[in-house]
């Protein structure tokens, strides 16, 4: 079980647009489509090559109630916004398959 006192942050689900452009490619826009309370835990930060330069890559773990995450339909294809930080979801785990705690592994690139 996760203690309610740890759920200090409000996370917003960002869902990718389903519209396509003239070439049939998905439009790169994200729409807020639900919120849930979570605990934000920094895991690591590394500087490394990213795209055409150097960037700081941070690994973050969010913990939330499983039912809250399931109710808004959060998937690995979505993004999460917490404290003005946009995080890419790498994995969503159901801790011990108990349907109580969702552990969301994320990456932020600065």
Give me the pLDDT at residue 87, please.
96
Give the range of the structural domain holding residue 22, as residue numbers without chain letter: 4-109
Domain tally, the chain: 1
Give me the pLDDT at residue 99, please.
93
Mean pLDDT of the chain: 90
Q: What percent of the chain has pLDDT over 90?
A: 66
User: What tens digit of pLDDT does each residue of 12-55 get?
Assistant: 999 988 788 888 887 778 999 999 999 999 999 989 887 788 88
Q: State the CATH number of the domain containing residue 15.
A: 2.40.10.270
The whole-angstrom separation of Cα 94 and Cα 65 is: 10
Neighbouring-strand partners of residue 60:
42, 106
Give me 110's structure tokens.
């600065």
Q: What is the pTM of this model?
A: 0.86
């Amino acid at each position: 079980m996760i203690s309610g006192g740890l759920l200090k942050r409000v996370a917003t689900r960002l869902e990718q647009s389903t519209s396509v452009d003239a070439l049939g490619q998905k439009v790169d826009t994200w729409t807020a489509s639900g919120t849930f309370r979570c605990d934000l835990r920094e895991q690591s930060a590394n500087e490394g090559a990213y795209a055409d330069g150097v960037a700081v890559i941070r690994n973050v773990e969010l913990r939330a109630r499983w039912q809250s995450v399931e109710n808004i339909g959060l998937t690995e294809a979505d993004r999460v916004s917490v404290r003005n930080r946009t995080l890419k979801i790498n994995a969503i785990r159901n801790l011990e398959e108990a349907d109580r705690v969702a552990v969301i592994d994320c990456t932020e690139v600065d």
